[in-house]
């Protein structure tokens, strides 16, 4: 009987470990996202995704600062989106 409990414990630990590794994998994928993907996923939550051609490079710089706070993006994500918008206008 004790052996079974031990086995259950081992498999629970294995499952927790596997899902922990899985969560690390997910955050890596977030890091690999391009500016275009981040833009389409984040910038249409509250309003239509803005067209890159709507604003010039300097305007995107300012808008990105405002929208980074609203969207709760990391600096890296915000920079990727800004770069994408500036390269596509």
| List of residues contacting ligand HEC (CB under 6 A) | 42-43, 45-47, 50, 63, 66-67, 70-71, 81
Q: How far apart are CA 23 and CA 12, in angstroms?
A: 17
Q: Which is nearer to ligand HEC, 11 or 88 (CB)?
A: 88
Q: Which is nearer to ligand HEC, 37 or 63 (CB)?
A: 63
Nearer to ligand HEC, 13 or 65 (CB): 65
Query: Nearest CA to 81 among 27, 49, 36?
Result: 36
CB of 61 to ligand HEC, least distance (A): 11
């Amino acid at each position: 009987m004790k052996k079974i409990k031990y086995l259950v414990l081992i498999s629970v630990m294995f499952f927790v470990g596997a899902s922990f590794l899985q969560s690390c994998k997910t955050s890596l994928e977030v890091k690999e996202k391009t500016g275009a993907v981040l833009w389409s996923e984040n910038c249409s939550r509250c309003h239509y995704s803005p067209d890159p051609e709507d604003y010039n490079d300097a305007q995107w710089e300012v808008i990105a600062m405002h929208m980074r706070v609203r969207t709760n993006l990391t600096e890296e994500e915000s920079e990727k989106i800004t770069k994408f918008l500036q390269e596509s206008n």
